[in-house]
């Protein structure tokens, strides 16, 4: 399905901005990551997205390729970010078939609602493994390519490199660990770890020309996360607490991605770019009207009625 440009990309960006560049993305079949990759492809890049589901990953890759005539988009399924060998094979295939890797988006993540009482050790570990270990494995598997690309795309901050930009990684995070939210202990801890990984990468590999940054989306409409973790009633209540007065769009996350990967983001390194309409500034203790704080926690009840809810047996 060919999407209209205004659903995933603003008009401010120049066509061909990322010509001949290659982006590697984990979680690339998700609603946010696929929009990020689609925008980069529209602007000239080729891409490789990886995921666990073969059919879905390949289907989304073909769909993204419609963003630009002649685009090459690989969809590699059956890839588990928790397994470094699995990722390394995908990275090698990407570099072999597309010639290089200039940009990386570490977007694979897991989430559901559960109190600590309801959250088993295995469930906690599952999110930590996908988010933290998965992000680390993504970094480790792609670092040699990022360092090489960074060396080929040096800039002095004054004159743009004719070869463009390269050697950049974005870790997809969240904002809930900034102020804390009940029923999200597992995600809060995991995303804090992802943030720390990105910051350390910036410090250790900045001298080699690599930039490492974070995008922390707020509530984004039409995404899988919003559909799984919120009900209609909680969405209506939550939007009233967003200073910008609305939910964000995947296009706005894609625009932030282009900024960080473009010449405009040359000196942005070790940064967490929040794209949430200032929503995190007004975070309350309530993840939704169905789970009022602290009454819901004191009741001892388990989370129900939300697609993302999990039982303690996990």
CB 40 within 8 A of CB 257: yes
Q: What is the pLDDT of residues 87-134, one digit of tens each?
A: 999 999 999 999 999 999 999 999 899 999 999 999 999 999 999 999
For residue 237, pLDDT beyond 90: no
From 191, 198, 251, 262, active-site residue: 191
Which pLDDT band holds residue 303 (cuts at 50, 70, 90)?
confident
Q: Can you give the pLDDT at residue 286?
A: 57
| pLDDT per residue as tens digits for the range 260-269 | 999 999 999 9
Question: Looking at 173, 188, 198, 249, which residue is catalytic?
Answer: 173
Q: Please confirm, yes or no, whether 191 is among the known catalytic residues.
A: yes
Which of 186, 165, 164, 168 is CA-nearest to residue 177? 186
Coil, helix or strand for 9? Answer: coil
Average pLDDT over residues 143-147: 98
The reported pLDDT for the residue numbered 312 is: 39
Q: What is the reported pLDDT for 311?
A: 45
Does the active-site annotation cover 221? no
Measured distance CA(311)–CA(133) in Å, rounded: 23
The DSSP string of 126-179 is: HHHIIIIIHHHHHHHHHHHHHHHHHHHS---SSS--TT----EEEEE--SHHHH
Domains defined along the chain, listed by start: 15-299 (3.40.50.720)
Determine contact, residues 117/38, Cβ cutoff 8 Å: no
Length, in residues, of the chain: 314
Q: Is 305 strand, coil or helix?
A: coil
> Is 290 within 8 Å of 233 (Cβ atoms)?
yes
pLDDT class for 313, splitting at 50, 70, 90?
very low
Q: How big is the CA angle at 62 (ends 31 and 108), to the nearest 5 degrees?
A: 35
pLDDT tens, residue by residue, 58-85: 999 999 999 999 999 999 999 999 999 9
């Amino acid at each position: 399905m060919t999407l209209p440009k205004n659903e995933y990309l603003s008009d401010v960006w120049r066509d061909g901005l990322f010509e001949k560049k290659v982006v590697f993305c984990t979680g690339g079949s998700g609603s946010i990551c696929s929009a990020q990759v689609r925008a980069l492809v529209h602007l000239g890049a080729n891409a490789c997205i990886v995921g666990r589901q073969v059919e879905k990953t390949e289907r989304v890759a073909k769909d993204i390729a419609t963003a630009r005539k002649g685009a090459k988009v690989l969809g590699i399924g059956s890839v588990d970010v928790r397994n470094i060998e699995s990722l390394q094979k995908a990275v090698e295939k990407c570099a072999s078939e597309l010639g290089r890797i200039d940009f990386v988006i570490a977007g694979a993540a897991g989430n559901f609602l559960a109190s600590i009482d309801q959250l088993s050790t295995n469930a906690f570990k599952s999110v930590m493994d996908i988010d933290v270990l998965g992000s680390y494995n993504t970094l480790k598997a792609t670092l040699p390519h990022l360092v090489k690309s960074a060396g080929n795309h040096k800039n002095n901050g004054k004159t743009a490199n004719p070869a463009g930009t390269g050697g950049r990684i974005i870790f997809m995070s969240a904002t809930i660990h900034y102020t804390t939210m009940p029923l999200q202990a597992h995600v809060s801890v995991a995303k804090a770890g992802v943030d720390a990984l990105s910051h350390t990468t910036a410090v250790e590999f900045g001298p080699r020309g690599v930039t490492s940054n974070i995008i922390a989306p707020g509530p984004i409409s039409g995404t899988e996360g919003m559909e799984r973790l919120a009900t209609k009633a909680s969405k209506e209540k939550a939007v009233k607490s967003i200073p910008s007065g609305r939910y964000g769009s995947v296009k706005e996350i894609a625009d932030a991605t282009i900024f960080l990967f473009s010449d405009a983001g040359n000196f942005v390194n070790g940064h967490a770019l929040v794209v949430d309409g200032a929503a995190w500034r007004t975070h309350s203790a309530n993840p939704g009207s169905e789970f009022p704080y602290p009454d819901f926690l004191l009741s001892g009840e388990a989370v129900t009625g939300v697609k993302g809810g999990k039982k303690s047996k996990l």
